[in-house]
Structure 1
């Protein structure tokens, strides 16, 4: 009996140590291929980063690894889907963040949206200044269109649903059906709002994959607006051929703990459907 109890305690210690010290420092790259129906045989690479939740000096080292890894991918576009810094009032490394975000390179453009932490703690204006100074296009219920071999690739960035401006109707009604339209929205369950619009791809974060993965109980661990969609790729079946990618993100909140939800960079290739 004693031996069994000791084994259980040791297993718990090992699992907790893994979740505290190992998995949060892992950095995976997850790859998805999304079909498009544009006329040309285009392959477009998008790299998504989300939920860095920078809090400590060690997080700067993690951000440096991210920049190195992303630049090696040579993406056409880099998108950041919110929650850069956990609490700006306690974070003193903004200059280092600015330098590293500036080093991040994409051949066609870098885009970003607000997450709830980017509006919280009086960070709204500082976040905007930081992103724009590092050459990111910050979209707040706005659209940015790029032309690749005369094909339209449109990014629509929605403001954070929890703390931002939720007046999405005007920008969603402006979507043109002749473009491949990508929505950047921090909270993934916004897909319930965007489902009736001609959107091809939505990129979101917010959930952290739950930070702790427990099968059958996962929705209980999810934050608001990440209950239905919370990790990985979803093929959303409706009148439009539409996909949703939810990133596990990079950082953590509340507890510096991850278990079976490793930090990830997401690499997406848009390829012509045959």
Structure 2
């Protein structure tokens, strides 16, 4: 896949290949590959419906077990099946994830939008993800039919977490995956999610809404993976961020350091409102992460 090859290319400042480095809060970078599709140009609209980017992110974690150095995670979010999101795009995103063979796959909510009609198609288009797949639900999922979606994902063999956690063993050590239910609809319960969970080691949190990070145990060396915002969806310099902050969404896109934990806000794959042409400056995303021990980062810098 051309997008995958571009995502692996390290762009230089003089490159005109269509790749660029986008700065992230916390001093990290993501390599973004994109097709140049513009939803406002009629001749490019068909391509835009199938377009998405692959992002690569390094997450440096203090106290990461040595055997988890290099652990790979993939994240899909906000696919919004049936809301003008091309099913071709979703299927290609699944193929892109499988091509990387990540250790863990996270789905972080909003698989539908307002109508129950697309519900049967969710299982079809998101089937086939390989490896250990963990799922949390979003606000739109609860508004439409959360029990149906939970059953759908469990039928696929995916693990759905609603204020629950699971411990899996990877590369000889445990990984705790904690799934907090949706905060937008008031179903989040961080205390219940962490009850009985290990207090150390590799701990990764799934939560649809980014502000859940403010409720996590401080200095917990946790990483939260979220979606919900669509990265702002339609970026107007100086306005979009201000509107999101007024709406109680200070975390819009990319990487953040919050109270001794880390947060990544995925831009999402689909459209929550406005159809496929009301998205600009925030390309649909499939995110990949490599976990690195702090010692690895120090050695690389030296």
Same fold per TM (> 0.5)?
A: yes
Equivalent residue in structure 2 for 1:76, among 86, 103, 127: 103
Q: What is the DSSP-based 3-state SS (H/G/I as helix, E as strand, rest coil) of the residue aligned with 2:184?
A: coil
Equivalent residue in structure 2 for 1:50, among 77, 91, 97: 77
- CA distance 1:135–1:23, change in 2 (3 Å): same
Structure 1 residue runs of 5 or longer lacking an equivalent are 1-13
Q: Shift in Å at residue 97 of structure 1?
A: 3.4
Q: What is the DSSP-based 3-state SS (H/G/I as helix, E as strand, rest coil) of the residue aligned with 2:92?
A: helix
Is this contact kept in 2: 1:99–1:134, CA < 8 A?
no
Q: Please list, as runs of the form range in 1=range in 2, the aligned pairs for 1:198-209 lying within 5 A after superposition.
A: 198-209=220-231
Equivalent residue in structure 2 for 1:187, among 205, 209, 213: 209
Is this contact kept in 1: 2:153–2:159, CA < 8 A?
yes
- CA distance 1:209–1:24, change in 2 (3 Å): farther
Matched, 1:102 2:102: no
Equivalent residue in structure 2 for 1:30, among 55, 60, 65: 55
Structure 2 partner of 1:39: 65
Provide the rounded CA distance (Å) in 2 between the counterparts of 1:41 and 1:234. 25
Is this contact kept in 1: 2:67–2:172, CA < 8 A?
no
Q: Which has the larger radius of gyration?
A: 1
Q: Please list, as runs of the form range in 1=range in 2, the aligned pairs for 1:147-226 lying within 5 A after superposition.
A: 147-196=169-218, 198-222=220-244
Is this contact kept in 2: 1:50–1:81, CA < 8 A?
yes
Q: What is the DSSP-based 3-state SS (H/G/I as helix, E as strand, rest coil) of the residue aligned with 1:16?
A: coil
Structure number with greater CO (CA < 8 Å, separation at least 6) is 1
Q: Shift in Å at residue 57 of structure 1?
A: 8.1
Provide the rounded CA distance (Å) in 1 between the counterparts of 2:252 and 2:198. 28
Q: Please list, as runs of the form range in 1=range in 2, the aligned pairs for 1:125-136 lying within 5 A after superposition.
A: 125-136=147-158
Tell me whether 195-204 or 166-175 shows the greater mean CA deviation: 166-175
Is this contact kept in 2: 1:40–1:149, CA < 8 A?
no
Provide the rounded CA distance (Å) in 1 between the counterparts of 2:241 and 2:212. 16
Q: Deviations over 1:190-249 (max 9, x none)?
A: 11111526242000000001111122222344398762111011123x3x3x21100000
Provide the rounded CA distance (Å) in 2 between the counterparts of 1:219 and 1:33. 24
Q: Shift in Å at residue 58 of structure 1?
A: 6.2
Is this contact kept in 2: 1:52–1:250, CA < 8 A?
yes
How well do the aligned residues superpose, as a CA RMSD in angstroms? 2.5
Provide the rounded CA distance (Å) in 2 between the counterparts of 1:154 and 1:88. 34
Tell me whether 52-61 or 207-216 shows the greater mean CA deviation: 52-61
Provide the rounded CA distance (Å) in 1 between the counterparts of 2:151 and 2:193. 23
Is this contact kept in 2: 1:185–1:202, CA < 8 A?
yes
Provide the rounded CA distance (Å) in 2 between the counterparts of 1:76 and 1:58. 27
Structure 2 partner of 1:145: 167
Provide the rounded CA distance (Å) in 1 between the counterparts of 2:239 and 2:48. 21
Q: Shift in Å at residue 81 of structure 1?
A: 0.3
Provide the rounded CA distance (Å) in 1 between the counterparts of 2:89 and 2:184. 27
- TM-score, length-normalised on structure 2? 0.76
Structure 2 partner of 1:259: 280
Structure 1 partner of 2:265: 246
Provide the rounded CA distance (Å) in 2 between the counterparts of 1:272 and 1:98. 36
